[in-house]
A = this chain, B = another copy of it.
Amino acid sequence: MMEPSPRGETASLILQAADEMFGELGLDGVSVRDVAVRAGVNKALVFYYFASKEKLFEAVLERYYEVHRAALEASFQSDAPLAQRLHALVDAYLDFIEQHRRYPRLVQALVVGNPAFHPFIQRNLEPMFRFTEAVLVGISPEHGHLAARHFFLDISAAVINTFTYAPVLAPMWGGDPLAPAALAERRQHLHWLADALLTGLTSATPSPSPRGGEGRGEG
C-alpha cells in the first residue's frame, strides 16, 4: 500500500465517502470532518473541491439521479405492449434501488428536509416524471383522478417506500423486507399492482361514479 491515492482521484474519494455516510446517516447526521476522515483526506480539501457541505450533498445526489434517469430510459421500448412497458419501468426502478440501496434514503431525507433543496429535487425529478407520464399517454386521461400523474405518484411511492420503510416494517413483515426472497415477492406484487391499475384503467367506463353515496367533494 505505498501509493493508496493515485493522483487526481481525491475529489472522487471524497464523493464516495460522502455517498456512503450521507446515505446511512443523512445530511445532518454526518459532519464534514467525518467525511474527510472516511475519505482519508484533509478536511479543508472537502471545501477545496466542493463549495460547501450542501453542494457536496447535491453532488452525491446528482450522480444517483443521472444513473436513475438513464436506467428508466433504458427500460423504455415504445413498441412493446403497455403492460410489458410498465413492468419494465417497475423493474428498472427496483433494480436501480437494489443496486443503490442508499439512494431512497437520500432522496426521502432530501424531500422532507430543508426546503432549500426543493428546486434541486424538482430539476432532477421532472424528467423522470415526464418520462413515466409518457408511458401512459393515450391510455390515461390528461386531467382528473385517472391522470397519469396519480399513477406516477402511486407507483414511485410503492417502490421507494418499500425500501425506506423496510427497517421499521421488519417485525411486522416477519423478517427483513429487503431479503432477496422478500424483495422478489415484493417485485411480484408490484407487477401485479401495475396490472391491476392497467386493467382498471382500460376497463373504466366514462361514467364518473362506480359506486354510490360517498362523494366527499372539494372543501
Q: In terms of DSSP, what is the predominant structure of the interface of chain A? A: helix
The reply to whether the CB of A162 lies closer than 8 angstroms to some CB of chain B is yes
Residues of A with Cβ closer than 8 Å to B? 25-26, 28-29, 83-84, 87, 91, 105, 108-109, 111-115, 118, 121-122, 125-126, 129-130, 144-146, 149-150, 153-154, 156-158, 160-162, 164-165, 167-169, 171-173, 180-181, 183-189, 191-193, 195-197, 199-200, 210-211, 214, 216-219
How many identical chains are in the complex?
A: 2
Contact of A165 with B153 in the complex, beta carbons under 8 Å: yes
Chain B residue nearest to A213 (CB atoms) is B84
Chain B residue nearest to A216 (CB atoms) is B187
| Residues on B with beta carbons closer than 8 Å to the beta carbon of A219 | 180-181, 183-184
State the Cβ distance, A82 to closest chain B Cβ, in Å: 12
Contact of B192 with A145 in the complex, beta carbons under 8 Å: yes
